[in-house]
Amino acid sequence: MKAAFEMRMVSITNGLQVWANAKLNFYLEISGKRPDGYHELSTFMVPVRIHDVLEFREAPTGSIKLWCDSKELSTGPDNLIVRAATVLQEESKKPLGAEIRLFKHIPWQAGLGGGSSDAAATLCALNQLWKLNLTEKVLEEKAAKLGSDVPFFLQKKAAWCTGRGEKILPSAFRCDLSILVVKPVFGLSTASVYSRLKIPTSPRDQAEAKGSFVGSEISKVNDGLFNRLQEPALELEPALGLLFEALRIAGAKNPLLCGSGSAIFALFEHDERALEVAKSLIHGPARNLIQHTFITRQAIKSCDN
């Protein structure tokens, strides 16, 4: 079981180190397809204390180089970290360079937003390291062009996100609950999940969910949990249903898909109960379906100390 911590930015020798948080979608409804090809959505996203670690140092050569401890991830120009760094480099109109090291802890193809969070961390860190002094508004504009979830990770709290996800309304939500996150051995492609989505003729009204998330009472929060992408994800990968069933049998109430998947999360009042369920899972009949389990909580900070 992996430890999970809150995001931070600290000085290191000749550079900066950033912890980039993951996120969970407590609510995700999709109401239609937009002219630009994206989907119109309403989602309530919560940053959690599962994080990647990134280190940034200036490169006198003016080049942008990314190293990652996982050989499965591309470190080329298609990586969101490199793209974010390139965006700021172009904005500066100067031959600025960076050597970036990524220690990957957030699973990919899990719906946890690791790539988007890393991109947001890159914008924050290089804005400081390169002394660009770009405003929050400019960083938000750059973030929105990089990806729908990236602007969310620039702010410091849970938020309702609308449009294609780039319109952010921060929330005072304080979920002092233990969260069990289970990542299966398989990942899911966001595009493949969306391709199986059936857009509802009568989308859910988010007002009821907003009422559920006003406080931290676990029964109310559980009642508000919803993800429109859960059904198409289950259709795409039937083994996901076995993991949902194993979670329910182990004692999880209303487990929910993380974003477009493949990870699943469930809420508990105490870490001890979450740990009991996690142990039951990893020793139960569904154990061969599980790659990682995390016990975490809501994170409050984002790009600041």
- Establish whether 118 is a catalytic residue: no
Bridge partners, 52 (sequence order): 20
| N-to-C CA span, the chain | 26
Phi, psi angles (nearest 5°) of residue 237: -135, 90
pLDDT at 5: 41
Nearest in space to 100 (alpha carbons), one of 78, 123, 76, 68: 68
Place domain 178-296 in its CATH homologous superfamily: GHMP kinase, C-terminal domain (3.30.70.890)
**9-170: CATH number:** 3.30.230.10
Return d(Cα 64, Cα 66) in angstroms, integer: 7
- Number of residues assigned to the chain: 305
Tokens for 208, please give them. 């009821």
Catalytic member of 23, 142, 157, 183: 23
pLDDT digits (tens, 9 = 90+) for 119-175: 999 999 999 999 999 999 999 999 999 999 999 999 878 999 999 998 999 988 877
Return d(Cα 182, Cα 185) in angstroms, integer: 10
Catalytic member of 52, 149, 157, 183: 149
- The boundaries of every CATH 3.30.230.10 domain in the chain are 9-170
Q: What residues contact 35, with CB distance under 8 A and at least 6 apart?
A: none
pLDDT at 305: 36
- Establish whether 149 is a catalytic residue: yes
pLDDT at 173: 84
Residue the block writes with tokens 């109401």: 31
pLDDT at 301: 52
CA–CA distances in Å: residue 166 to residues 9, 160, 291: 23, 10, 31
pTM for the whole structure:
0.93
- The boundaries of every CATH 3.30.70.890 domain in the chain are 178-296
Phi, psi angles (nearest 5°) of residue 104: -90, 120
Ranges of the chain whose pLDDT falls below 70: 1-7, 301-305
Angle 43-47-49 from CA coordinates, rounded to 5°: 150
pLDDT at 303: 40
pLDDT at 125: 96
pLDDT at 19: 94
